[in-house]
């Protein structure tokens, strides 16, 4: 067996250490996976696929979506969940309210949107109503998904989204949308998908877990 010698320099050059020694993420917010959509119809995070973890490893998961872009103007982009890794059609009940203000100052206000909420629906949940499709438009969102692996409780989630919405007007509209709700299932949620409604999407998607210990 060849003799391997270690010295100070080799230790100084370490860039990773085993997880058992505290290597990898050292904080409570653990980056799990970043996926990028580039003019794609959908983008999915499924437990066990592409190194994605979405099980009882963490009690809370966070998804940060940055520069989500619809390649077609005034289209919805939707969030849905799966319990089997294949079908994204979990029954959901949600609320949706938003603040919005357009650049021409003709629309400004806070309202609850019955058009965008869900009542025991398997349809996808909208982020904002109608993405603006101009080249510099984009949407950013933070999603919290609570204890998806529970087989006792429904699975709550919230979405806090800020984006450039079409807003039903011809002017770009700053839209801050708040969604809260639950997947009305006691089966474990094992994945989620973001999908364009008659559009393709681009953007960066970061999945994190929050440690409970």
Partner 1 sequence: MAIRTAVNRALTAITALPTAAALVDGNLTLLTTATASSSATLDFTSSIDSTYKSYMFKFYDMHPATDGVFFHVNFRDGDTAYDATKTTTWFRALHSEDNSIANLTYDAAYDLAQSTSAQRLTGSLGNGNDESISGELTLYNPSSTTFVKHFIYRGAAYFNVNGAFDIFSAGYCNVTAAIDGVQFTMSSGNIDAGTIKMYGVGPKQ
Please identify which residue in 41, 56, 87, 108 interacts with partner 1, judged by CB under 8 A.
108
3-class DSSP state of 127: coil
Q: Which tokens in the block code for residue 192?
A: 């989620």
Residue 28 or 119: the one with the smaller Cβ distance to partner 1 is: 28
**Which tokens is 36 given?**
């990028």
CA distances from residue 176 to 113, 137, 162 in whole angstroms, order as listed:
12, 14, 4
Query: Which member of 2, 50, 105, 213 binds partner 1 (CB under 8 A)?
Result: 105
Closest CB to partner 1 among 93 and 174? 174
- Locate all alpha helices (DSSP H) within 76-137, ordered by sequence: none
x/- track of binding to partner 1 for residues 40-79 (CB under 8 A) = ------------------------x-xx-x----------
Burial of 47 (0-12, 13-18, 19+ CB in 10 A): middle
Task: Work out whether 24 is an interface residue with partner 1 (CB under 8 A).
Answer: yes
Does 36 engage in binding with partner 1 (CB under 8 A)?
no
143 binds partner 1 (CB under 8 A): no
Does 176 bind partner 1 (CB under 8 A)? Our answer is: yes
Of 87 and 211, which has the nearer Cβ to partner 1? Answer: 211
Contact 106, 170 (CB under 8 A): no
The CB density around residue 145, as the number of other CB atoms within 10 Å, is 22
41-49, 50-58, 75-83, 201-209 -> range binding partner 1 (CB under 8 A) = 201-209
Residue 176 near residue 162, CB atoms below 8 Å: yes
Place of tokens 């983008």: 43
Cα 116 to Cα 65, 106, 121: the distances in Å are 20, 22, 11
Stretch that binds partner 1, among 18-26, 38-46, 51-59, 151-159 (CB under 8 A): 18-26
What is the Cα–Cα distance from 158 to 78, expressed in whole angstroms? Answer: 14
Binding of residue 12 to partner 1 (CB under 8 A): yes
In the complex, the smallest distance separating the C-beta of residue 149 from partner 1, rounded to whole angstroms, is: 21
Q: Which residues bind partner 1 (CB under 8 A)?
A: 4-6, 11-18, 20-31, 34, 64, 66-67, 69, 99-105, 108-110, 135-140, 142, 160, 162-164, 172-176, 204, 206, 208
């Amino acid at each position: 067996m060849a003799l391997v010698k270690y010295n100070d320099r080799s230790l100084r050059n370490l860039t990773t250490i085993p997880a058992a020694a505290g290597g990898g993420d050292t904080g409570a917010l653990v980056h799990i996976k970043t996926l990028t959509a580039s003019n794609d119809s959908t983008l999915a995070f499924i437990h066990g696929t592409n190194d994605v973890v979405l099980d009882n490893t963490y009690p809370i998961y966070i998804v940060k979506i940055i520069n989500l872009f619809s390649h077609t103007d005034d289209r919805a982009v939707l969030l849905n969940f799966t319990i089997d890794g294949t079908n994204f059609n979990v029954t959901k009940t949600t609320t949706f309210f938003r603040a919005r203000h357009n650049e021409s100052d003709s629309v400004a206000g806070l309202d609850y949107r019955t058009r965008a909420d869900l009542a025991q629906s398997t349809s996808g949940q909208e982020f904002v109503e109608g993405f603006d499709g101009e080249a510099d438009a984009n949407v950013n969102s933070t999603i919290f998904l609570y204890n998806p692996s529970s087989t006792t409780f429904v699975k709550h989630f919230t979405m806090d989204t800020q984006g450039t919405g079409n807003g039903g007007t011809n002017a770009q509209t700053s839209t801050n949308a708040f969604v809260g709700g639950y997947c009305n299932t006691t089966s474990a949620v094992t994945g989620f998908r973001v999908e364009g409604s008659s559009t393709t999407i681009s953007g960066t998607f970061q999945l994190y877990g929050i440690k409970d210990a």
